Structure formats: structure tokens, C-alpha cells
Structure 1
Amino acid sequence: MTGSPVLTIRGLTVDYGTGTGAVRALRDIDLTLHRGEVLGLAGESGSGKSTLAYAVTRLLSPPGVITGGEVHYHPPGARDAAPVDLLALSPRRLRAFRWQELSIVFQGAMNSLNPVHTVHSQLTDVLKAHRPGMKAAERTARAEELLSLVGISTDRLTAFPHQLSGGMRQRVMIAMALALEPEIVIMDEPTTALDVVMQRQILRQLVRLREELGFSVVFITHDISLLIEFSDRIAIMYGGRIVEEADAAEIYRDPRHPYSDGLLHSFPALHGPRRELTGIPGSPPHLSAMPAGCAFHPRCGKAFAPCAERVPVPAAPDGEPARSVACWLHHPVPADSV
């Protein structure tokens, strides 16, 4: 059961580059993450998922620039307190905010961990920076506790990253993200390089930790089948926009956007009768040559006249206030497009 909002994103827009050569990577993103919720973010490569994560955490590398929108964090137990404007935080306050209230697990743990430092050194470094009053013995005890949380033997504290398996390195990154018990954990395709058995083990541990510690999760992946299993809600991205958002069960049973339906029919069902895998024809559009109207219409088998002319705005279909979809199939067609 999810609670009040913990993170709200409104109108977030991101460009790569400036001036006439700028390329728009995110376009007016609106999302709400609720307390204790797992929000899945799905889409093909290049849809803007990772850019969204880095924009929210203000980790965008040049030439990425946030050109519009708001990102607000709502502290726990403070109904009357003003939300924190993440885009307005000073570098000092932002440094204190990261890991303390919001942490991120990056794609590719081997590249995220420092190869010349032990697991102990990297876990305690977070505590040393944010908990300067902790004694060395207390930091070590906390590091041991964190490894136990993610199912790794404490004798691995003295190991270097290359001495761990891929799954163990990823779990060390999850342990590091949970070190300061943040309210929000953003996970950017954390299981992409792992086999399916290890993927399921890590996801089961993540679900257990979420239930035990009560943090909220934004889980980013191109594999929508993973999200269906353990997400509360799913947002589908295409061409830098949110094209559909709904409860995970609703997305699975009745996807409304043709792109969502294509993603769902691109992987085999684990249960029930066999079904034909249809996939999605064509390739995602290049950001510098985005089609007019709905960005998906050149690949959509259900496209009609207004799809190539007007950009559909996410809205709730009739009788379904809990979901939104950006598709002319489910909204009134503009009179001048008929």
C-alpha cells in the first residue's frame, strides 16, 4: 500500500547542447513517486530513462542541461513543511542530500566501484562523509550490517571489486545506496549484465529490503517483464515522453498505448498458453530527427491522421482516473485534424 508523495516531477525538460544545435532528450515529464512505492520506468534504449534519473539527481554530464520543470522532495513526517526544490539546492546542500535522502544504483557495478579500494573502504567512505561523528568501529559494524542485509558474507569486506562476482558487486552497490537509509532509491538498469537467476535473486532481496526499510524505489529497465513482477506502478517512456502510466497489473492486463502493447508482446509469458512474439517494427527515432505529432506513429500499426500532426497529451481514459495514456485512440480528436 503506497502513501503520500515523496517525489514530484513536473514539466521536466532536458536538452543536450545549447542554441540551435541543442537536442531535446526529455519533454515535459510529469511523475509522482509515492512513499513506499516501487515505480517502474520502462522503454527501449534512447527513450530517456537514464537521462530522467540523472536529471532528478542532478548528475547530468555536459552537455546535458535541465531547461525547464520542477523536482520536489517531500520530507517524511512533515505535512506542513515546504517541499525541497532539488533543482535549486546549492552544491553543499545537494551533496548532503544525496545518499542521505536520495541514492542511486548505477548501471554497471564494476564501473561504479573503485577497483583499487576494498569493499570496506568504499562502504565506510559514505559513512565517514555523512556521519563524521561515527567512530571507526561503528562504521565497520555498519558496513558488516549492510553486507548482511544484501546477503553477502561479512568476510568479503576485505575483498576488492575484481574478487567478487557480478551479482555480488551489484549487491554491494545496493548496500552502499542503503547505507544512510534514504527515502528514495533510484536503480538504473541494475540487473542488465546479470543472468536471469541472479536477476531474480537481487530483485527478491530488493523487495524484501523495501518491505523491511520502507524506502521508495524508481526502477529503470528496458525489460518490462521484470517490472510487471514487482512494481506497484509502471510508466512507459518513448521519445523522451511518458506515453502511458498505470498500475502494473493494469498495464499487463490491458495496455492502452500501442507502444506498451508492443513491449509486452516482445517477451515470452512465463505462465499460461504460448503466444506469438510480435515485437515492434522499426527503430526508436533519433532525438535530432523526432517525427512530427506522436513520436511513435511511424512504427504504429494503429496510427491515423491526427497521429502525424498533433502531439497527444497524457490524460486519463474515460472511466479510468488512476491511469494516463498519451494516444489519440483514447482521447477526442482535435476538430481541425478530422
Structure 2
Amino acid sequence: MTPRPVLTISGLNVDYGTGSGAVRALRDVDLTLHRGEVLGLAGESGSGKSTLAYAVTRLLSPPGVITGGDVHYHPYDKGPVDLLGLTPQQLRAFRWQELSIVFQGAMNSLNPVHTVHSQLTDVLKAHRPQMRSAERTARAEELLSLVGISTDRLVAYPHQLSGGMRQRVMIAMALALEPEIVIMDEPTTALDVVMQRQILRQLVRLREELGFSVVFITHDISLLIEFSDRIAIMYGGRIVEEAGAAEIYRDPRHPYSDGLLHSFPALHGPRRELTGIPGSPPHLSAMPAGCAFHPRCGKAFEPCSGQVPALAPVPAGTAGGPARSVACWLHHPAPDAAPGAGEAAADAASAHPV
């Protein structure tokens, strides 16, 4: 059965600033989140991951401006909802009810002078004013139980909770109104590895119980491979590869994806050398011509420095495998390519297999 989309992003562009001094942070981003899936979004700092999350939820702070594209939410029983066209009042009703977000550094986002009870029930007061006080308290207790926290912690203040517990309170708050979509922006970055795995296991369990869809943003691709259904790789404000998590792990097609995979040690299996990625990500105000990754890429050849490759489908790695796309001249013929460019791409790929 063909998966149904719950969120579609088409040609999204975001600038910081206006006029000649504007810096483009997102460039023609296309992405689809299917109902009930976990979509991982990976890339180095500065690749545009958080900007994408804030643009979709319309939480961009000035001078961030959406300059083009479309974002549509697809509910079960209605036609598509244009998120970029919602009025402030409609947007306030939409957030948390249909789409919620767990912010980067979420465990420090709780108000230090209010109890957990007060902060959980505030969401219910704002969006479900018909609920009685006892009903709101019962719902807050249910939410804490969902994320594995004892209900006696409702009267606690944030400083009385561990980092992992504060993180789980934020996840509980994001689930308070049973949204269809939860966007998580590096929610486990400040936690140790053991606590990261505990929270991820709980997240997977909650997704299976409640049926919501997740966009999980992180720079650690090894985390995504463990529990994501699909992974999209971002670099220089663009999606450069999108495929099933297993496909990305076994057979990354973009050199940047391969570099990310070899920047983290494997938790299981034989030891392998960590090669990393040479150089640094480009500054958004001085993007290189052509493929943004070519100055750091060991497989770059002639078209890479002059033409930007589009994100286009490539054959799946296995028969019947999930569809995948990649933006790389190693896998697509360059337009107006010089004679022999196809052979050069083949030679580059064979000399440095991904």
C-alpha cells in the first residue's frame, strides 16, 4: 500500500536578511513526511536543519524570512492545509494540536519557577478551555506515565529533575494534545549515550502506541540509523540524499553521506577506521559555485564546480527497496557535459567507491 503523506514541503527557500545582504539558508527544499513514519534529518551544524524546522512551524525569528515554496499538512478527513497561508489565530490553534516541536536544548526550556504540573496543564488550558481542573491534572499524570516518569513528580520544579527527566517532560508536553506530527530538533544532544538510547526507545514505543509521525533532527547519523524509517541528508541548505535508513547505511550514494557515516564509530561489529570529512562546511554568504560539497569531496570532477546537481531519483539498492534520491553528478548525467564526462564520473566512482 502506498504510504500517505502527512506533511509535504516543496521548493522551500529561507533567507536571513533582505536585499543585497540577504543570506540564503534553505535552497529549494523538497521533502515528504509519511503518516506514521520517523523521518531523520542529518547534517553538520549550519546545514539548515533547524532553519527547516522553524520555517515549517513558522517560528523563524527575524531576520529569517520564507521567500518561496509551499508547506502543506494533510489531515485524515480534510483537504490539504497551507501552513504558510494560516493567519496568526489559525496558526496558534494549529500548533500543538496538529503539529508540535521539541526544541534544541529542550531540557533547559522549562520555566524554572513553575512546577511540572503548571507547565503541562498550561498547554491544556490554552487549547482545551472546556476541560476542568481535575481533568487537566489527570491528563498531566497520564502524560508523565507515558514517558516513564512517576506522577509524584508533577509537583517538582525543573531543577529537581535530572536532565533526562526534563527532556521527557518536554516530550510529554509535545504529546499533550495528541498531534499528528512531532518535530524534534536535536532533543538528545546534551544527554549521555545511555540516556539517549532510553529516550529513543521510549519515543519509538510512543510512536507505535499513538501513531504520530516524527521528524527527528540531529548531526549524529548513527542515532538515526537505529530507529528511523527514512533519512534525509542536508548540506549547504539543500537535501543531497534521501533514502531508507538501511539503504543509507549499506549503500550511501552521496560522498557527503558516506563521510558522515565514517565520522562516528560503530556500536556493533568489527572496528573500522574513522575517516571523517576534510575541511569545513561553507559559509552561507560565500557558497561555492556548482555542488556546495565539491571543495571537500574526493570524488569531484569537472561538472561539480560549475553546475548544481538536482535531487533526482536513482535506482534502489535492492529489488523492491524503498525509493531513493540523490543530488550528485556521479549518479546523473550533467547537462551539456563535455565528451567523456560520463566516463569521468564512472572513473571517479570506481576509484573512490562510496
Asked if 1:205 corresponds to 2:202, the answer is: yes
> How many residues of Structure 1 are paired with residues of Structure 2 in the alignment?
332
Is this contact kept in 2: 1:185–1:217, CA < 8 A? Answer: yes
Q: Distance in 2 between matches of 1:315 and 1:71?
A: 27
Q: Report the secondary structure of 2:2's partner residue.
A: coil
* 1:88 Cα offset (Å): 0.2
SS in 1 for 2:278: coil
Higher alpha-carbon deviation: 239-248 or 102-111 = 102-111
Distance 1:336 1:108 in 2: 38
Match of 2:68 in 1: 68
The 3-state SS of whatever aligns with 2:330 is helix
Q: Is the 8 A contact 1:2 1:34 kept in 2?
A: no
1:103 is paired with a residue whose SS is: strand
Change (3 A) 1:287 1:337: farther
The verdict on how the C-alpha distance between 1:330 and 1:320 changes in structure 2, with shifts beyond 3 A counting, is: farther
Return the offset for 1:81: 3.1
How far apart are 1:274 and its partner, in Å? 1.1
Aligned partner of residue 46 in structure 1, secondary structure = coil
Counterparts of 1:96 and 1:313, CA distance in 2: 40
Please say if residues 317 and 331 of structure 1, whose CA atoms lie closer than 8 Å, have aligned partners that are also in contact.
Answer: no
**1:217-238 superposed Cα distances (whole Å, 9 cap, x missing partner):** 0000000000000000000000
| Residue of structure 2 aligned with 1:291, choices 288, 292, 297 | 288
CA 1:15–1:318: 2 relative to 1, 3 Å: farther
1:115 aligns with one of 108, 112, 116: 112
SS for the counterpart of 1:270 is coil
Give the corresponding residue for 1:316.
Answer: 317
List structure 1 segments (4+ residues) > 3 angstroms apart after TM superposition: 312-321, 335-338
**What RMSD in Å do the two structures reach over aligned CA positions?**
3.2
Q: How far did residue 29 of structure 1 move?
A: 0.3
* Cα 1:236/1:314, change in 2 over 3 Å: farther
Deviation at 1:110, TM superposition (A): 3.7
Deviations 1:208-254 (CA, angstroms, capped at 9, x unpaired) = 00000000000000000000000000000000000000000000000
Give distance in 1, aligned partners of 2:303 and 2:314. Answer: 13
Provide the rounded CA distance (Å) in 2 between the counterparts of 1:188 and 1:239.
18
CA deviations 1:274-300 (Å, max 9, x no partner) are 111000000000000100000000000
Which structure 2 segments of 5+ residues have no match? 335-350
Q: 1:272 to 1:314 in 2, by over 3 A?
A: closer
C-alpha contact 1:243 1:314 (8 A) present in aligned 2: no
Gaps of 5+ in 1: 75-79
Question: 1:109 offset after TM fit, Å?
Answer: 2.2
Summarize the Cα distance change of 1:321–1:268 in structure 2 as closer, same or farther, 3 Å threshold.
closer
Per-residue Cα deviation, 1:183-224 (whole angstroms, up to 9, x for no partner): 000000000000000000000000000000000000000000
Q: Are the counterparts in 2 of residues 33 and 216 from structure 1 also a CA contact under 8 Å?
A: yes
What is the 5 A alignment of 1:115-264?
115-264=112-261
**Between the two proteins, what is the percent identity of the paired residues?**
91
Q: Distance in 2 between matches of 1:248 and 1:306?
A: 29
The answer on whether the counterparts of 1:11 and 1:27 sit within 8 Å (CA) in structure 2 is: yes
Cα distance per residue 1:96-153 (max 9 Å; x no partner)? 0000000000111243211111100000000000000000000000000000000001
**Normalising to structure 2: TM-score of the pair?**
0.90
> Cα 1:21–1:72, aligned 2, differ >3 Å: closer, same or farther?
same
Q: How much has 1:337 moved relative to structure 2?
A: 23
